Amino acid sequence: MSVLVVDFGAQYAQLIARRVREAHVFSEIVPATITAAEVAAKAPSAIILSGGPKSVYDSPAPSLDPAIYELALPMLGICYGAQLMARQLGGEVARTGAGEYGRTLVTRRGPSRLLDGWLDETTCWMSHGDAITVAPEGFTITASSPGAPVAAMEDDARRRYAVQFHPEVAHSEGGQALLERFLHDAAAIAPTWTNASIIEEQVAAIRARVGDAKVLCALSGGVDSAVAAALVVRAVGEQLTCVFVDTGLMRLGEGEQIETTFTEQFGVDFVHVKAQDRFFEALAGVVDPEAKRKIIGELFIREFESVARDLGAGGDGPRFLVQGTLYPDVIESGSGHAATIKSHHNVGGLPEDLAFELVEPLRTLFKDEVRRVGEELGLPEAIVWRQPFPGPGLGVRIVGEVTRERAEILRRADAVVVDEIRRAGLYRELWQSFAVLPAVRTVGVAGDGRTYAYPIVIRAVTSDDAMTADWARLPYDLVERIANRLIREVDGVNRVALDVTSKPPGTIEWE
């Protein structure tokens, strides 16, 4: 029971897919080039056509294989998808010159399955230049707005529906209810996709895939690898070994927390590699950010590889490797028109000659779904809700040479920042909030004496996807509390600054 969301190049396709899932129906994003045969092979329960930045009059404008209409599946067209549907089924779309952008009043016209329960006038989110002017045969017009004579139309007998507005955005009143009526009522799909069903399905899939082979997982401390591992624990816990490489550049208590969770709570074989010395040695004297990243990434792989070989990988040891790949990575690498993503040295870029087969139990999930599954699996709050942390860790937050002493100062400073942000109830709201240590020293006074110590920079940003970010307007009294505590509690710090740079032009991390 799944719904295909055909992506016409709008940023809205992911949002639609998520809203469908919030209605407890599994959804999958597919490119507009999908053929009727490919759709039939996936046997979906319904199809949603997303919006898109193009006009149906552009050339080329993305289209839909007309044979898909012959599959007689329930269909919902949204914005561009609605116009395409109108045109392909014999209606008309025109450049009326009366585009609508933003909140728009939509007026109901007559009975409608989709708009059942809606008020006569409803505020919806619009974003269109062209408009449907004539509905195809078989359709009735069920709503209109000042700039869209056909704001909604339906052919209930054939279970085809189209709306010019965006039901998936929060500004559309009753938008989610409309989607749910399409899914649960018009398409008659039962709302059975839940955290419990995701877990059950993934556990069965992992068991089928892995059989009685051994499995290895590199835990980074972050939420994705932890949830992926927890699913594998549920499926084949006895066959799993988790590896945590402490680079010396982790957050305070991170390694202990992950070890306690996976050993005491889940009873898994756990290898805690204390590699700090080797990392600090390799980083001695290195100041170039890219060089630091490279050293950390390569050394991580070597450390992991050595554990894997000790465990017999490539021989009678682990054959499978768990990876926390998420759905947005899968869509982004799979569909032609998605924005370019950065390639990062990630914990997980692993040696090819060991030839692991990958187990990726989160491939179909969005981040918020991963968190809910993690909670359901019993992972602690501190892991499930942890903010993103770069693979090279504190190494890219120390500007200049990374030394053991600086890493220690930064780790303690970071813990203070995070603690105060949590107390203020802002931790989940912020995309990231952390401390940065520029390795310069400045003069200060304490008591009667002169100090000469490091500054700490407070960095806190809001963001949806890290591609862009805004500096967070932290309350001044919070900034003051953080600053006081940093100077009082963290030896080696005598000054605090606040980073008020957004991205662009800044990046979130300092290196």
Q: Would you tell me which residues interact with ligand XMP (CB under 6 A)?
A: 293, 344-346, 388, 390-392, 396, 432, 466, 503, 507-509
In angstroms, the CA 224 to CA 66 distance is 39
In angstroms, the CA 111 to CA 389 distance is 52
Q: Active site includes 337? A: no
| DSSP character string of 352-403 | STT-PEEE-TTTT--HHHHHHHHHHTT--HHHHTPPP--TTGGGGTEES---
- Cβ proximity to ligand XMP: between 363 and 503 the closer is 503
| CA-to-CA dists, residue 62 to 51, 167, 170, 336, angstroms | 11, 21, 26, 12
- Cβ proximity to ligand XMP: between 110 and 505 the closer is 505
Q: Across the strands, what pairs with 126?
A: 102
Q: Across the strands, what pairs with 105?
A: 123
Q: How far is the CB of 198 from ligand XMP (least distance, A)?
A: 25
| CA-to-CA dists, residue 90 to 84, 95, 488, angstroms | 10, 17, 73
Q: How far is the CB of 293 from ligand XMP (least distance, A)?
A: 6
Q: Active site includes 166? A: yes
Q: How far is the CB of 342 from ligand XMP (least distance, A)?
A: 6
Q: How far is the CB of 255 from ligand XMP (least distance, A)?
A: 17
SS3 content of the chain, % helix, strand, coil (to 5): 35, 25, 40
In angstroms, the CA 138 to CA 149 distance is 17
Q: Which two tokens stand for residue 392?
A: 């090279």
- Cβ proximity to ligand XMP: between 55 and 463 the closer is 463
Of the candidates 168, 254, 420, 511, the residue annotated as catalytic is 168
Q: Active site includes 184? A: no
Q: How far is the CB of 217 from ligand XMP (least distance, A)?
A: 17
- Cβ proximity to ligand XMP: between 345 and 371 the closer is 345
In angstroms, the CA 189 to CA 194 distance is 14
Q: How far is the CB of 511 from ligand XMP (least distance, A)?
A: 8
In angstroms, the CA 22 to CA 180 distance is 9
Is beta strand 449-462 parallel, antiparallel or unpaired with respect to 442-446? antiparallel
Of the candidates 79, 124, 217, 242, the residue annotated as catalytic is 79
Of the candidates 166, 173, 217, 345, the residue annotated as catalytic is 166
Q: Which two tokens stand for residue 330?
A: 């899968």
Q: How far is the CB of 391 from ligand XMP (least distance, A)?
A: 3
Q: How far is the CB of 392 from ligand XMP (least distance, A)?
A: 5
- Cβ proximity to ligand XMP: between 103 and 344 the closer is 344
- Cβ proximity to ligand XMP: between 289 and 444 the closer is 289
- Cβ proximity to ligand XMP: between 315 and 504 the closer is 504
Q: How far is the CB of 326 from ligand XMP (least distance, A)?
A: 13
In angstroms, the CA 188 to CA 46 distance is 9
The span from the first CA to the last CA of the chain, in angstroms, equals 45
> Phi and psi for 118 in degrees, rounded to 5?
-80, 155
Q: Which of 296, 314, 316, 295 is nearest to 305 (CA)?
A: 314
How would you class 80 by CB atoms within 10 Å of its CB: exposed for 0-12, middle for 13-18, buried for 19 or more?
A: buried
DSSP code, position 241: E
How would you write 316-333 as a 3-class SS string? CCCCEEECCCCHHHHHHH
Residue type, 311: L
In angstroms, the CA 360 to CA 206 distance is 9
- Cβ proximity to ligand XMP: between 255 and 297 the closer is 297
- Cβ proximity to ligand XMP: between 109 and 345 the closer is 345
Q: Which residues are catalytic?
A: 79, 166, 168
